[in-house]
Amino acid sequence: VAQPPPDVHPVPTARPAPDDRSGPAAGGAAGEVLAGHLAGLAAEFLRALRGREPGEDEAAGTAALRAAARRIAATAHTYEPLLDPGWAQQLRTELTWLGAVVGREHRHAARLARLTAALHRLAAGRDGTDGSALNQAVGAARAGALLERQLTLARTRAHSATLQALGSARFHAVADAVALLTSDVPLTAAAGRSAGRALPPLATQACRALTDAVGALPLTVAANPYNTHALHASLGEAAGPEAGQDGDPRDLPWHRVRRLVRTCRYALEVPGAAAPPDPDRPPRPDLSACPERLFDAGRVLERHREAAEAAEAAATAARTPRITPATAYALGVLHADQRAEVEAARYAFSTLWRPVAPAPAP
Amino acid sequence: VAQPPPDVHPVPTARPAPDDRSGPAAGGAAGEVLAGHLAGLAAEFLRALRGREPGEDEAAGTAALRAAARRIAATAHTYEPLLDPGWAQQLRTELTWLGAVVGREHRHAARLARLTAALHRLAAGRDGTDGSALNQAVGAARAGALLERQLTLARTRAHSATLQALGSARFHAVADAVALLTSDVPLTAAAGRSAGRALPPLATQACRALTDAVGALPLTVAANPYNTHALHASLGEAAGPEAGQDGDPRDLPWHRVRRLVRTCRYALEVPGAAAPPDPDRPPRPDLSACPERLFDAGRVLERHREAAEAAEAAATAARTPRITPATAYALGVLHADQRAEVEAARYAFSTLWRPVAPAPAP
């Protein structure tokens, strides 16, 4: 059989393949492009669901399920004006519920892995040759055992909750709604406009929400290494029964930016959603114009959240009754270590979120 | 009385005034310049000693005494080839002893002030409205009280030791030796050479020892913010009975550089000791050629040492029997906070110790 010459490319399909989000903008109607993108995401969702079946890598399947659910929900949010509003709202609510439930187990596991690694790093080189070092080594070991007990219990509970959710009528309704997306997306009249006109403004709006939220962050402080802000008041935070879920209130603007980074990134994944560069205007001076750095920023803020949650878990463990002072001391060191990681992630974000191009002189 | 016209300068004295270390190099013999400089330092030493008398600011007097003792010892070290060797060695030993004894009280006071400030920062904003926050607030307060008790006791002991030292025959012998310096410095034959030829090579040698010691520091790691190296193995360090004095062995190269920065700086204070810039050679690519940044580097390494000692004091306090877990937790957070300060000081040093000028291409 003759090989085709190397410069012959395959004929592009009218609808992008599910994994091909970087394809060129379709020339057709916005609704058609959006429906094609959502159909691809829905197929990923269903594939991930099958991936959770016995014999498959359950954790990987769950991660893929969460990712697909997040992408569909974010896309339905950004492009809501092109979609039947009641339907889009309902689907987002249900997918957000699903993502939260099935994500919990992973988060507990990640937290335990992070804290265990940090304890190893903090206790490295201990030799236990004298009483004091031995005492500290015992404290670190007990802190590790305590955290493992508490987070493994939380993880087991989260696992049961996932199984229960995936067996529920509520989940089957979501899965049915997603399955419908592969063939039928309820569009509005506005979806009849050309993709090139209708999609970029909506993506820009999603990314502008990100830019605004970043504008409210204390980036000048964060850009100054060792500012100690993330540890500030670490011994003074109101840490009520909800502490493990809400964490430090000063972390919330960063968590919000993390979600908006994702929304902006997912919005730009729709083919043709990125506005073409306008030669008459300078490039937007932020990351939303630069998908790769946006991905890095999202990773950094993921690390920010994980470290914040790990710090909170160490503080929670230190409130366990009847622990020894050596255990509590190790948990205090661990808490501060993870708050330093929070600060480090903010610093890293501040180095990423830099003007892509300087603003022109007026 | 007629005012002298503004461009008439006072006639320079042959010997620089005690406080005038920035004067031009004396054109005379090296021994003469060195003796003049040492006489000025000896006068400062004696003035500081009078400053410690009743009615004066005792702490300021002690600080001035330490500074003068350090300068004389460092100068006697750097310029030893110009001085009677047995005499210089003996004087240095005695002044080092004196500096260590009278410095201890100040160091305990500085440590307590640093730890108290850090605890305030860490516990800022606590409201104690719920049980957990209250527990943490109590822990922070108890940790503060424990540190205050331990460090105040240490300070009181150091104060007594200072008084005892200053009343001892050993001290009176040092003071007599220093008083002799104001009029008579035992010089060697080499001191007869011209100042411009004899002094700069000795100063350069002292500063080269600094450059070599800095070369052994892990500056590449330190220049990378949030490298977590200073906290590494913080729960694993052998912390024997000498821990409070020796601290973390990995801090020692930094402490050594701190002392060498001072020696280099003091060496350059001798009039004419800084080698004149050689137009045929590029400037030396480090701080030793730049006294102001040398001073900043010294300050940063002072902060490094204070933070390292404060972290050690928190760890020591955590080994007190029968403390509550909340107290131990607060001490753990405090320890890690101060080790982060150690890391911050290393980072700051790495930003200061940068090539003054790039090395020329070969």
Q: Give yes or no for residue A67 having a pLDDT over 90.
A: yes
- The answer to whether the beta carbons of residues A188 and A84 sit under 8 Å apart is yes
B142-174 per-position pLDDT tens digit: 999 999 999 999 999 999 999 999 999 999 999
pTM for the complete prediction? 0.85
Chain centroid to CA B245: how far? 16
| Predicted pLDDT at A239 | 41
DSSP state of B18: T
Considering only alpha carbons, which residue of chain B is nearest residue A226?
B344
pLDDT-above-90 percentage for chain A: 69
The rounded mean pLDDT for chain B is: 85
Look at residue B283 in the predicted model and tell me its pLDDT.
57
DSSP element (H, E) containing A201: helix A195-215
Backbone angles phi, psi at B240, to 5 degrees: -75, -170
**pLDDT at residue number B233:** 73
CB pair distance less than 8 Å for B226 and A133: no
Predicted confidence (pLDDT) per residue in B74-120, tens digit: 999 999 999 998 999 999 999 999 999 999 999 999 999 999 999 99
Structure tokens at A140: 């670190």
CB contact under 8 A, A123 and B236: yes
Q: What rounded mean pLDDT belongs to chain A?
A: 85
Q: Do B126 and A236 touch (CB under 8 A)?
A: yes
b/e code A108-145 from CB counts within 10 Å (16+ = b): bbbbbebbeebbebbbeebeeeeebbbbbbbbbbbbbe
pLDDT at B51: 82
For A157-169, the pLDDT digits (tens) are: 999 999 999 999 9
A129 and B238 in contact by Cβ < 8 A?
A: yes
- Residue B325 has its nearest CB partner, among A125, A328, A343, at A328
CA distance A345 to chain B (A): 9
User: Which helix (H) or strand (E) segment is B346 a member of?
Assistant: helix B325-352
Residue A52: predicted pLDDT: 80
How confident is the model over A177-231, as pLDDT tens digits?
999 999 999 999 999 999 999 999 999 999 999 999 999 999 999 999 999 888 8
- Show the beta-strand stretches assigned E in B197-245: none
Strand partners, A83: A187
Would you say A279 and B168 are in contact if contact means Cβ atoms under 8 Å apart? no
Among A76-90, B11-25, B298-312, which stretch is predicted with the lowest mean pLDDT?
B11-25
Q: Which amino acid is residue B297, in one-letter code?
A: A
Residues A294-331 as b/e (b if ≥16 CB within 10 A, e otherwise) read: bebbbbbbebbbbbbbbbbbbbbbbbeeebebbbbbbb
φ, ψ for residue A307, nearest 5 deg: -65, -40
Cα distances (angstroms) measured from residue A98 to each of A68, A69, A71, A161, B133: 11, 8, 13, 11, 33
Task: Give the per-residue pLDDT at B132.
Answer: 67
Q: Does A335 reach chain B within 8 Å, measured CB to CB?
A: yes
CB proximity list for B142: less than 8 A, separation 6 or greater: B323, B324, B326, B327, B330
Assess whether pLDDT exceeds 70 at residue A283: no
Report the complex ipTM: 0.84
d(CA B272, CA B291): 13
Interval B257-290: pLDDT, tens: 999 999 999 999 999 898 766 667 655 555 556 7
Q: Could you tell me the CA-to-CA distances from A177 to A34, A69, A164, A283, B259 in Å, in that order? A: 16, 12, 19, 39, 72
Contacts of B347 in chain A (CB under 8 A): 225-226
Chain A residues lying within 8 Å of B136, measured CB to CB: 235-237, 239
Of the pLDDT bands very low, low, confident and very high (cuts 50, 70, 90), residue B248 is confident
Query: Which of A19-23, B68-72, B251-255 has the least mean pLDDT?
Result: A19-23
CA angle A176, A177, A178 (to 5 degrees): 90
pLDDT in tens, A27-45: 689 999 999 999 999 999 9
CA dist., res. A175 & res. A154, Å (int): 26
Chain B residues in contact with A337 by the CB 8 A cut-off are 228, 231, 336
